[in-house]
Amino acid sequence: MTRHPVVIHDGPKLLAEATAARLIVRLTDAQAERGVASLVLTGGRIAAQIYAAVRDNPARDAVDWSRVDFWWGDERFLPSGDPDRNETQAREAFLSALPVDPARIHPMPASDGPHGTDAAAAALAYAAELGTAAFDLVLLGVGEDGHVASVFPGHPVGADPRPVADVHDSPKPPPVRITLTLPTLNTAAEVWLLASGSGKADAVREALTGSPATLPAAKVHGRERTLWLTDTDATKSLPPRS
- The reported pTM is 0.96
Q: End-to-end CA distance of the chain, in Å?
A: 8
* Distance (Å, whole) CA 36 – CA 129: 18
According to DSSP, the residues that pair with 141 across neighbouring strands are 194
In 10 A of CB 55, how many CB atoms? 15
With the CA atoms of 86, 87, 88 and 89 taken in that order, what torsion angle do they form, in degrees rounded to the nearest 10?
A: 50
Q: Which pLDDT belongs to residue 134?
A: 97
Neighbouring C-alpha atoms within 13 Å toward the C-beta of 6: 21
* Residue 3 pLDDT: 66
pLDDT of residue 157: 97
Is residue 224 within 8 Å of residue 171, measured between CB atoms? Answer: no
pLDDT of residue 40: 98
Pairing of strands 177-180, 164-167: antiparallel
* Alpha-carbon span 115 to 164, nearest angstrom: 15
- How does strand 37-41 pair with strand 68-72? parallel
CATH says 6-231 is which class?
A: alpha beta
Q: Is the peptide bond before 161 cis (omega within 30 degrees of 0)?
A: no
> Given this model, what pLDDT does residue 12 score?
97
User: Quick one: which H or E segment has residue 7?
Assistant: strand 6-9
pLDDT of residue 191: 98
Question: What is the pLDDT at residue 212?
Answer: 82
Separation CA 207–CA 219 (nearest Å): 8
Which residues of the chain are modeled with pLDDT < 70? 1-3, 241-242
Instruction: Kindly state the helix (H) or strand (E) to which residue 184 belongs, with its residue range.
Output: helix 182-185
- CA dist 228 and 173 (Å) reads 26
Contacts of 116 (CB under 8 A, 6+ apart): none
